[in-house]
Structures are given as structure tokens and as C-alpha cells.
Structure 1
Amino acid sequence: MATPKLPTVTKITGLPVPSDASSKSHHLLSKTGKLVGFRNTHDSFNNKYDGSTILPAAFKLLTDRVRGKLGPMPPIPSPCPIPVRKPTFITTRIGPSALRATWLGHACYFLEFPSGLRVLFDPVFEEICAPTSLLSSKRFTPVPCSIADLPFLDAVVISHSHFDHLSHPTVQEITKHHPTAHFFVPLGLQAWFRKQGITNVTELDWWEDAELTVPADEATIRGTFSCLPAQHSSGRSGFDKDTTLWASWAVSSTLFSSDTKKSVYFGGDTGYRAVPEDIKGDDYLPHLPTNPDFGKIGTLRGPFTLGLLPIGAYRPRYLMSSVHANPFDAVEIFRDTRCEKAMGIHWGTWQLTFEDVMEPPVLLREALARRGLPERGVFDICDVGESREF
């Protein structure tokens, strides 16, 4: 059997960027000018309790529980009300007639483009999304398939280094079953992959772009991968907080010999606004500053065929809002980024925070109605393992 040809990656320029992109204000520099980390720079972020700073956040949760300000974590319903089905995939190298998106749990989506391009976002196929089983709860919805079940895989997109978005065992499974798959990661994260012996990896900064070219018998497959801003954090231990970048991504691909272009905006993991502790409720809160980068993404890179937008892991809001969008925030991100349709991610897999596991879909419908949008058919959820076409 012939050895599969590796895809090629070329960094490209010429796509529109905001006027302030060259300032790199999100870079954290040492006194000597060396890049040592990254930061959130907008008023929509509050770093007092950002939900990703483990010790301050954990201490705040503990004291609030003792004081009776925060109740117990809601129980997971039994049986779990989120259906899980065995997914089906296109088994020929030729792509489907429409953009096909399959939810594999949490933030993981598998995209099959009409061009033939296959892309996997934030794959984590493990039971526990933490360094040890003591630090996180077990999956309450099982993995719907294995990496080996994917007939083709051209690219893997990683939003940031947290354990529920980047998994060492899953990455190793990908390299075993799909050795030519190329990884696209935010700035600083390439070194982690190289330590695993993986060299087919490209790291990008915000507003940087690369083209992937995949040789195939039917026709050459191309995809454009764009690293874009998000409001979050990073780290895999207590000693590497924010030393690698976090990002959202855009991926687009055009059908060979056609002008049929499909594009996906992947929100990954992000906040939209910081909600102070004295504010209650889940409304739009229009008086609070929001992150302006999503509007820039929509204006400069939109519209998108599909948005994959986070809707879960948001309570208590005073701890999580800076780094995790709730459904009301997600609908605003949907509008800002000019997505034509959207699917909810970052819910229904691990109980990471204090909302009921079935609350995100309920609030999503409320948020859509409040904005005068249809409650179904525009920004939806689906079963784990289910595929939708766009």
C-alpha cells in the first residue's frame, strides 16, 4: 500500500484584519521584550475571579458554600435526558452535497465539507477531563464513537490547552489512526505537540491565517484556517497559566471547480462580558461592557455558514462569565459574528459548573425569543452523535 501523502500548509496574508491587530495588545512581554504569556485586554473581562484561576475560584466557591450563598451542584438526571446515538460518516473521499456537522460531545465537532475536507474541533474522547479523576466528574454522556471510526481526517483544530479541550490520549489516538492529520493550534502550544513527537502542527496568532492543501485522487482539497480572538485563559497545571494563547477559529473550504464555499466559525471556549456578583438573572445586561472582537470577526471575516458556539458551564456567573458564555451571551456572539446558523457546544458532557445539566437548552430558547429569533431552526442543539447539514 502506498504511503499517504502529507498535506502542505502555507501561511497566507491578504485577509482583512482590524486596524489595531499589529499592536498585539494581548501579548504579555517581559521587561526585556520577550513574549512570556497572553492576556485579555477588554473591559468585558474581570480577572478577580475568572473561573480559570483555580485556587482563587475554588476558595471563593468554598466560602460561598459555607456562607449559604451557593447551593449544592444539581444532580445529574437518571437516566440522562440527552440522547446519544452512533454517528454515521461519509465513507468516500468525495464530500457531501452540503456542509455536514456531527456533535461528538462537549466542544468536539466533526465537519465534513462538500470539498472533501474533514476537520475535527477540540477532540476529547476520555472519561475524565482533568489530570486525575479526583479533579473532575465523569462523563454523563458516553463518547458516541472512537477516533478509529472517522473514515478520513485532514485537520484538527484546538482552541486552547485546558483538559476539556486538549487531551493527550486523544491526540495520540489521532496520530495512530490518522497520521497525516494536521493540527492547528494557538500561539505557544506547538511546543506541547512537539514534546509528544508530533511535527505536523501549525501555530497561529490572532488574525493569522494558513492554507491547508490535501492531495487526493479525486481533486486537491484546500481549506483556509484562521486563528481569531476569544476571551478565555489557558493552562494545564498551576505553573503555566496563560503561557499559551486561547482562540476561536474560522475554517472555510471551496468545492473544486466551483464557487460553492462553506465556512465555519468555532467559538471554542469564551466569555462575552463580566457579570459582577451583585447582579442577578440571565438577561442581556446591556449596560455591561461586551467583547468587541466578535463584532470585528463578523464584519471582517463573516458571514459564516455555521457557528459552533458555547452555551454551557456558566454558573455562578460572577466566577464564570469572564471566560464562559451563557446562552444569552451565545446569542449575542451569534449575532456579532454573523453566523447564518449555529449549533450549541460546551454542554451536555461533563458537569463542570453549578447549572442544571439541562438548563442551557432552556435558556437558549429564551435568549432567541428575546431577540426575536425563532426558537428552533436557527441556533439549535442536537443529540450527541447526531449530524446536521447546512
Structure 2
Amino acid sequence: MTSAILYSATISPAKITGAVPEDAPELEHHLKGKKGFRNPWTSWKDITFWGALKLIFTGGIPNPDTTQCTIPVRKPQFPTTRETSTLRATWLGHASFYVEFPSGFRALFDPVFEPRCSPVSFLGPKRYTPPPVEVEDIPIIDAVIISHNHYDHLSLPTLTKIKELHPNVQFFAPLGNKEWFVSCGFHNITELDWWESRDVKLSSTAKPAVAKVGHDLAGDQGQNGIVPDIEATIGCLPCQHISSRTPFDRGHTLWGSWSVESGGKKLWFGGDTGYRGVPSLPPSEDDYGPEHDYPHCPAFKSIGELRGPFDLGLIPIGAYEPRHFMSPMHANPYDSVNIFIDTQCKKALGMHWGTWVLTGEEVMQPPEVLKKAMAWKGLPETGVFDVCDLGETREFEEEQSVAKL
């Protein structure tokens, strides 16, 4: 499927737009000799693949009951034209969102539609909530934006189908991922380092039409049959995580969060991230208690101060237990609220939950804890940083107005 008017994309050379941290040119997240990437903060502690396997096989990660999942699943109805006056975001499961900007620009984040997030179709975490749509149901996709190369965020079968249905789609990924895309047959691929961005201009390939008196022009055409260009700025920003597709390529490619600005609206996509590295504590002990002062990742405050504020943040809230093991790379809702505040998002939707069993918390726990975390910071429990149903579209008009579709 495609939009009523076809567009061709022009992408500017990579550039640094806006302010950047003073230490950004030092590229401290790059390993020496171009051998990969790292988290350059004291808030990070390394978690190995083999350590994860040991925890799993020794029973260190509980197996939550997926039958307790009560997330409603809706069938979204996407406009077949680019006529949208507001910023709209639809949750497609886990970290996948479809976002419609008022300019007409359409972006799809971390799409995975397969039954399992795994290198093989018969092993690995199995989806316990269905995708609310299939790729075929999405009429317009201009950009697919990937946070990193873990299987629950980067799916070859899904991306292949997107390319077949939307041959002009542009793919964006953090530094080092282009080689994988090209080897898999993708050529409209742009890779960026942290704090780099690209300007994207979509220009119509159709000739201007002439309107008959008394008749409106259909589809994407504007006044007098002129089809306007659509512009967006896409930027790669830091987050605290790690990458790998196998046990032997850990950290070979970069991970990142993303900003997209188009049509006067600005969005921050958190991807997959931790906030602090917390040691093993008694279950009853609060790691945010006054007796604890663990370092937190400073990148989010820099993002908010230098690139914010954002009209909407898409922020991970799940996959966080056991806390001592997962905290460096997965935020719990208390971390998520701090990230929300640091990045200066006006509104936010929670993601990275409700789709795969990846960790030990109960499947419906993340949104419950999110409300407590908002109250902990003196913020409204609803209407500011929410979760939504699978397939639900939230429409963001003015700063104080949020509509449910």
C-alpha cells in the first residue's frame, strides 16, 4: 500500500544540529581502534550474555503468568492520506510505535510483528499479546527508525515486508548498523552517531493537478493542486544500553534514542535504556531511599536541556526484574519518570512491556508501578505519562489536551 501521492526522499549529509555537550566531540562512547561502543558513564555496569544464561538456568528470573494479561487490543484505523492536523501515536506492541506528524510525515519505530523475538522461529520469547495490525494495514511509512539490533527491536522478516510494500521507505539506525542492513538487501539506510541528525525532505513525484471549479482536490494535494514538500529532522541521541545479535558481537554496533521534529511537533523515542546500575538489595529495600545515592545516566538531562522540550516522549517502563541485574540497561517505572523529567517531555506514553516475557516482573505490573512513580514525584497519575491499549491511537493537540481514539 502507499499514499495517494508518491514522494521521493532527499536526505541531507549527517550534521550536528543544535547544542551538544562539551564532551561530545571526544566520542567517549567509541572504543579505541573502531572496535565498537560502550556506555561512558558510572551509571553503567556490564551485563554479559553468559551471566544472563546463568541467571536463567539457576532460577534467578521468575516466570510470570501471562494469562494475567488484561491489555485490551484494538484495531487501529490509519488515514490513507497525509491529512493530519495533530501529532498522533499508535502503540503496536513492545517498543513499536507508529507516529503521524501534522506535516504529513509518518514514522515507524522498532517494528517487530513476528510471533517470537528470536533469530529462529521455533525458539525464544513468544508473543503473549497479538500485534493489533499487520504491516499490510499501515498505508504510509516514510521512515523506519531502529534503536538497536536486539531481536525484540530489529526484525529482518518485518523489515523485509515493509521494504516490499513501501519501496521508498528510508531506514535509520545508530552507527555501525548499516553493514547489516546492506548485507540483507536494504539500501535506503542512514546510520548516525549520537548527537548527529539528518534533514529529510519528501518531494512529490506527481505533477500538480488542476482543480475544477466547485471541486476539492483529493488525496494529499493542497490549494491549486500543488503538492507540498514534507520536511522532518531526525536525530540520534544517547541512551544507556548495549547491542548484540549473537553472543560474540556485543557492543559492535551503537544503540541510541531518537528525536523527530516535523510540522512544528517534536518527539523523543527512548528506545531501550537503563538509568542507573543498582546492586542486589533486600526485596523490601527501596533503591531510591535516602540511604542510597547510585549514579544515574547524565545523558537524559543533556538531551532535555540541549534538544528539548519535546511534545511527546515514548519511554520504556518494563523488563526490569531482577533489579540488580536489569537496572543498567532497562528502566523501571521510577527510572522512567526520572527520564521523563530529565528529557523535558510535556507528555509521554509507556512502552517496552505487554508483549514478550523478557524478565521477571508480573506482566501487568509496569503500568501499576508507573502511577506510583508519578505520585512519588508529585505528578498526576494519569493524563501526563500514561500507557495505552494495544492498537490505541493517542492524539496530542495542545500541551494540555490529550484525546483518546
TM over 0.5: yes
Q: Secondary structure at the match of 2:296?
A: coil
Residues 283, 328 of structure 1: 8 Å contact kept: no
1:183 to 157, 162, 171: 171
Cα shift at 1:15 = 1.5
Q: Secondary structure at the match of 2:197?
A: strand
Alpha-carbon distance between aligned partners in 1 of 2:57 and 2:168, rounded to the nearest angstrom: 46
Alpha-carbon distance between aligned partners in 2 of 1:13 and 1:60, rounded to the nearest angstrom: 41
The aligned counterpart of 2:194 is 206
Quickly say closer, same or farther: Cα 1:3–1:86, change in 2 above 3 A. Answer: closer
The aligned counterpart of 1:41 is 40
The aligned counterpart of 2:309 is 303
Cα shift at 1:156 = 0.7
Alpha-carbon distance between aligned partners in 1 of 2:164 and 2:110, rounded to the nearest angstrom: 17
1:188-238 deviations in Å (ceiling 9; x for gaps): 001111011111010000000101111135310011011000100001011
The aligned counterpart of 2:276 is 273
The aligned counterpart of 1:6 is 8
2:75 to 77, 86, 93: 86
1:2-58 deviations in Å (ceiling 9; x for gaps): 9944301113344111110000000012xxxx31100011111111xx2xx221122
* Equivalent runs, 1:304-323 vs 2, <5 Å: 304-323=310-329
Cα shift at 1:92 = 1.3
Give the partner amino acid of 2:35. V
1:241 to 250, 255, 275: 250
Cα shift at 1:299 = 0.1
1:45-97 deviations in Å (ceiling 9; x for gaps): 111xx2xx22112213433x3xxxx473121125x311111011122122x11
Alpha-carbon distance between aligned partners in 1 of 2:23 and 2:366, rounded to the nearest angstrom: 35
* Equivalent runs, 1:88-103 vs 2, <5 Å: 88-94=77-83, 96-103=84-91
Alpha-carbon distance between aligned partners in 1 of 2:190 and 2:286, rounded to the nearest angstrom: 38
The aligned counterpart of 2:67 is 77
**2:181 pairs with 1:193:** yes
Give the partner amino acid of 1:224. T
Percent of residue pairs identical: 53
Cα shift at 1:356 = 0.2
Cα shift at 1:148 = 1.4
Q: Secondary structure at the match of 1:37?
A: coil
Range that drifts further, 174-183 or 272-281: 272-281
Alpha-carbon distance between aligned partners in 2 of 1:292 and 1:23, rounded to the nearest angstrom: 16
Q: Secondary structure at the match of 1:27?
A: coil
Cα shift at 1:343 = 0.2
Give the partner amino acid of 1:215. S
Alpha-carbon distance between aligned partners in 2 of 1:35 and 1:226, rounded to the nearest angstrom: 22
Cα shift at 1:278 = 2.7
Structure 2: state its 5+ residue gaps.
205-220, 222-226, 397-405
The aligned counterpart of 1:15 is 18
1:336-380 deviations in Å (ceiling 9; x for gaps): 000000000100000110000000011000000000000000000
Task: Tell me which structure has the larger Cα radius of gyration.
Answer: 2
Give the partner amino acid of 1:81. T
Q: Secondary structure at the match of 1:171?
A: helix
Q: Secondary structure at the match of 2:102?
A: coil
1:137 to 116, 125, 132: 125
Alpha-carbon distance between aligned partners in 1 of 2:66 and 2:323, rounded to the nearest angstrom: 20
Cα shift at 1:283 = 5.1
> Alignment RMSD, CA only?
1.7
* Equivalent runs, 1:121-132 vs 2, <5 Å: 121-132=109-120
Quickly say closer, same or farther: Cα 1:150–1:369, change in 2 above 3 A. Answer: same
Q: TM-score, normalised by structure 1?
A: 0.91
Structure 1: state its 5+ residue gaps.
255-260
- Kindly tell me the number of residue pairs found equivalent between the two proteins: 369
Quickly say closer, same or farther: Cα 1:274–1:215, change in 2 above 3 A. Answer: same
